[in-house]
Structure 1
Amino acid sequence: MTRTVLVTGGSGGIGRAIAARFAADRAQVVVTGRHADTVERTAKDLGVRGVVCDATDPTQTAALAEQLTTVDVLVNAAGGLPAPAPDGAPPLEALLAEWSSSLSRNLLSAVLTTASVRDRLTDGGAVISIGSIGAERRGGSYGAAKAALGAWNTSLSAQLAPHGVTSNVISPGYVTGTDFFRGGMTDARHTALVQETHNQRPGTPDDIAETAFFLASPGARHITAQTLHVNGGAFTTR
């Protein structure tokens, strides 16, 4: 049976790779993003449906949900570094703006989208949210928001499990092939991040996409309330 897969932040980077993986499995994929040009280009390139939607806006997320009858897989991939503070803002106001932006982009986007489509999630479905290794170390406001995403996921799992829906977080390490660093990645930093891994390579968007595809598969039905670290050993758990 054809599945309906909703990928927020699906117009680039990890979100786009996840959308492409499910599209290759002939799912009916809906990708969202804030910018019409990138959403339309991604939809055309992948042969999926594109909807312009800011996942941090409750009005827009509610309108998105109204366009969907059922959702088999929800991937909360929208997120990113905080928006720059307004020029000339006093230090505390700048700090508040940074933290508000991080929480909005990386936590509330997932909370709002999931709440908007919750009644449309199907038995046997999956909610997958994209976290970050930054939740474990050196993450600042961004890492704190991703850590909160993991805490929220555990409570969400308890709510969804009785309805046959799993809920997990994928926590990537350093991933190349995205615009996450906004051009700020240096050769020295790249080398240092790769050296932290056990397999001596950076991650790719496809690494995360394959993990997401697995979490939405029949083989992962007993995996829920978890954070899966996909980082080549840069951060290890016991």
Structure 2
Amino acid sequence: MTRTVLVTGGTSGIGRAIAARFAADHAEVFISGRHRDTVEKGAKEIGAHGVVCDATDSQQVAALADRLGKVDVLVNAAGGLPEAGPGGRSALDGLLAQWHASLAQNLLTAVLTTASVQAKLANGSSVISIGSIGAERRGGSYGAAKAALAAWNASLSAEFAPKGVSCNVISAGYIAGTNFFRGQMSEERHGALVEETHNKRPGTVDDIAETAYFLASPGARHITGQTIHVNGGAFTTR
């Protein structure tokens, strides 16, 4: 049976790689993003349905959900570092805007999208949210939002798991080849992040995509409420 997969933030980076992985398995994939040109281009290239949707806007999220029937896999990949706000504001106003943006982009996008499709998730479905190693250290407002994402996921799992729906977070380490750092990654910083890993290489979008694909597979049905760290050993747990 063909699975229906929704990937928010599916036009680039990790989200696009995850969407492409499920599309390669002949799933019916929907990707969403804020910009029509990138949504249409990305959907055409990977063989998915593209939907323009700002996942911080509840009305747009509700409209997206209305387009879907059943949802077998939801991947909350929308997020990222907040953009700099407009000038001419006080330091406190700027700080407040930054934190609001971080929480909206990296936590509320997942909360709103998941709530909008909750009734469409059946026994055997999976909710996967993309977290970050920044939740563990040096993350600022972005890391705090990703830490909140993991806490929310634990409560979500307690609610959804009795219905047969698994809920997990993939906490990504440094992933090369994305636009996350907006061209600000120096060679020195790249080297330092790679040196932190045990396997001495940066992560790739395919590392995260394959983990997401596994978490949505029958072999992962007893894995729920977890934060899965995919970072080459840069952060370890006991």
Normalising to structure 1: TM-score of the pair? 0.99
Q: Specify the alignment match of 1:74 in structure 2.
A: 74
Identity in percent:
73
What is the DSSP-based 3-state SS (H/G/I as helix, E as strand, rest coil) of the residue aligned with 1:119?
helix
Task: Spell out, residue by residue over 1:125-156, the C-alpha distance to the aligned partner (whole angstroms, 9 max, x if none).
Answer: 00000000000000000000000000000000
**How do 1:1-238 and structure 2 match up within 5 A?**
1-238=1-238
What is the DSSP-based 3-state SS (H/G/I as helix, E as strand, rest coil) of the residue aligned with 1:159?
helix
Structure 2 portions without partners, runs of 5+: none
Q: Shift of the alpha carbon at 1:225?
A: 0.2
Task: Spell out, residue by residue over 1:184-216, the C-alpha distance to the aligned partner (whole angstroms, 9 max, x if none).
Answer: 100000000000000000000000000000000
Q: Shift of the alpha carbon at 1:57?
A: 0.4
CA distance in 2, matches of 1:68, 1:94: 38
Amino acid at match of 2:56: T
CA distance in 2, matches of 1:108, 1:215: 22
Deviation >6 Å, runs of 4+? none
Q: Shift of the alpha carbon at 1:83?
A: 2.0
Task: Spell out, residue by residue over 1:33-73, the C-alpha distance to the aligned partner (whole angstroms, 9 max, x if none).
Answer: 00000000011101110000011100000000000011000
CA distance in 2, matches of 1:97, 1:85: 7
CA distance in 2, matches of 1:163, 1:69: 18
CA distance in 1, matches of 2:57, 2:217: 30
What is the DSSP-based 3-state SS (H/G/I as helix, E as strand, rest coil) of the residue aligned with 1:131?
strand
CA distance in 1, matches of 2:118, 2:231: 30
What is the DSSP-based 3-state SS (H/G/I as helix, E as strand, rest coil) of the residue aligned with 1:149?
helix
Task: Spell out, residue by residue over 1:97-139, the C-alpha distance to the aligned partner (whole angstroms, 9 max, x if none).
Answer: 0000000000000000000000001210000000000000000
Task: Spell out, residue by residue over 1:145-193, the C-alpha distance to the aligned partner (whole angstroms, 9 max, x if none).
Answer: 0000000000000110111100000000000111000011000000000
RMSD after superposition: 0.4
How many residues in Structure 1 have an aligned counterpart in Structure 2? 238
Amino acid at match of 1:9: G
